[in-house]
Amino acid sequence: MHNLAIAPLSGILPITEPPKQKLHQTQLFEVAVSISINGISQAVMMASPEHLKDFALGFSLSEGLINSCNDVLDIIVHSHQCGWQVDLQVLARVQHQLKQRRRTMAGPSGCGLCGLDSIEAAMSLNVPQDQTTKTLKLPSEQVIIQAKDALPRLLKSSGGTRGNHCAAFFDLSAHIVAFREDVGRHSALDKLLGCLSNKKQATNEGFVLITSRCSHDLIAKAARLSLTTLVTLAQPTDLAVSSARKTQLALFCFQHGQLKRYA
């Protein structure tokens, strides 16, 4: 048998790795944040590591864990090897109410949920009794657009991080009152709600603008804090619209660049 020599093929270049491109260092920070009340863990959330006291207060209020910032004696932030822990020190009666709630919500389900009770809790819209009697002071279309156009300048001047969600509260003349940002839209709103509660800001004297779409849970959070007007930069879900109408929350959203009122 003859040994055949294999001739090299012409015109075929050797396989080489593509040149490596230098990637930009991301500036979007995300950490685990454990929220506890009187030392008892309530939730672990992923959030940006700024304004954690506002976040814990806003989350506790918007989720109905506490009724008022007057229930809180102190907020203590601890660094942790895997993230951050924020502990709210609350009045004894508030802790008792929380224990009763946790006992009611406990269930035997192996998946960690408690069946219908969990669904009902997720769908609940706990509106303060005085919410339905408040006179709505709605911003004009011009004011909402003016606030939207001012948001990029506001973020740039305050050192905001591109890519984060922003939640801002404007008065009825489009003047900024407060804003917070976070990698998550829910956390951004919670931080803003905590900030507004600390300032004792009257929430019916302006509106919240969020750089995200609108879902039911944002409506539920806004309603629990007696907000009267919510504006988002993307269209709402059908459930969000239904929930906004039930809570008498004025809902404005931008769809394809056009401002529309949904509720």
Query: Catalytic residue positions?
Result: 111
Task: Identify whether the C-beta of residue 191 lies closer than 8 Å to the C-beta of residue 179.
Answer: no
Q: Tokens representing 91? A: 């009045």
C-alpha Rg value of the chain to the nearest Å: 24
Torsion over CA: 63, 65, 71, 72 (sign): negative
Tell me, what amino acid is at 39?
A: G
